[in-house]
Amino acid sequence: MTETQLRDLLVKMADSLFARGFSVGSAGNISVRTPDGGYLITPTNSSLGWLDAARISKLDADFRHVDGDKPSKEVVMHRAFYTARGDAGAVVHLHSTLATAVSCLPDVDWNNPIPPLTPYFVMRVGRRMPIIAYFRPGNPAMESTIHAAAKNARAVLLANHGPVVSGKTLTDAVYAAEELEEAAKLFLMLRGSSPRTLTPGQVDDLLETFG
Ligand code: 13P
């Protein structure tokens, strides 16, 4: 995909997330690798519902701002995924309500709070999605913690803040962020009712079949 096509797709997918309530106000940010080795990232304080393709921030291969509006304050959060995961082509950070609710619960397993309830959660998000300790938004200190976790996880939940999800492509990352929000909804709906989860064998089968 050309950079122009990526800009247009980013605007379209961000608008779709905003329209369906996955993001409110100026919450959330999205980045994608460009064919020249750089990155596009949403500008700071921009609404995902009102992006202008020409004003999206452009970063070079070293994550330096080279064009467009001032980038998101969360560049380090995105950089942590790109540097940890060679397969990450895009990163989506949201404050989506139900995944964020899970990130606030005191009694969940921080190594993997949401069990494998459905195949698409496993296929999109993977086997494991840990919770990361709370950091103030934009705090550069979060980078090393997220980087370490991202080596073994396609997505993390930032405590009391929200999800950060990577994908091979922009579409993959957005679909995974949506699937995570639905899995969080199911998890919260089923809390206290001992639901059946997928077995380890079923999870292995999904990951072997769909990657
Ligand atoms: P930016 O507006 O700087 O992208 O920050 C929004 C956000 O979601 C902070 O976590």
d(CA 110, ligand 1 centre) in Å: 23
d(CA 74, ligand 1 centre) in Å: 6
Give the model confidence (pLDDT) of 161-206 as tens digits. 999 999 999 999 999 999 999 999 999 999 999 999 999 999 999 9
Sole residue written with tokens 């990130």: 103
pLDDT at res. 11: 98
Our answer on whether the CB atom of 28 is closer than 6 Å to any ligand 1 atom is: yes
Query: How many domains would you assign to the chain?
Result: 1
Average pLDDT over the chain, rounded to an integer: 98
User: 3-class DSSP state for residue 137?
Assistant: coil
Q: Which CATH number do you get for residue 12?
A: 3.40.225.10
Exposure string of 60-94, with b = 16+ CB inside 10 Å and e = fewer, is eeebeeeebbebbebbbbbbbbbebbeebbbbbbb
| Whether pTM exceeds 0.75 | yes
Tokens standing for 167?
Answer: 């994908």
pLDDT at res. 117: 97
Which residues constitute the domain of residue 188? 3-210
Our answer on whether the CB atom of 48 is closer than 6 Å to any ligand 1 atom is: no
**CA proximity to 69, closest of 37, 98, 26, 110:** 26
What is the average pLDDT across 87-104?
Answer: 98
Assess contact for 188 and 102: CB atoms under 8 A: yes
Catalytic site positions? 74, 120
Q: Report residue 149 CA to chain centroid gap.
A: 13
Torsion angle (degrees, nearest 10) of CA 91, 96, 99, 100: 110
Our answer on whether the CB atom of 47 is closer than 6 Å to any ligand 1 atom is: no
Ligand 1 atom 9: residue of nearest CA: 137
Confidence of residue 24 (pLDDT cuts 50, 70, 90): very high
Q: Report the interhelical angle of 75-84 vs 142-150 (nearest 10°).
A: 30
Say whether pLDDT at 211 is over 90: no
d(CA 202, ligand 1 centre) in Å: 37
Our answer on whether the CB atom of 45 is closer than 6 Å to any ligand 1 atom is: yes
Give the model confidence (pLDDT) of 137-169 as tens digits. 999 999 999 999 999 999 999 999 999 999 999
pLDDT at res. 92: 98
Q: Which atom of ligand 1 is nearest to the CA of 43?
A: 4
Tokens standing for 81?
Answer: 């995924």
Give the model confidence (pLDDT) of 29-47 as tens digits. 999 999 999 999 999 999 9
Assess contact for 67 and 43: CB atoms under 8 A: no
Our answer on whether the CB atom of 72 is closer than 6 Å to any ligand 1 atom is: yes
Q: Which atom of ligand 1 is nearest to the CA of 45?
A: 2
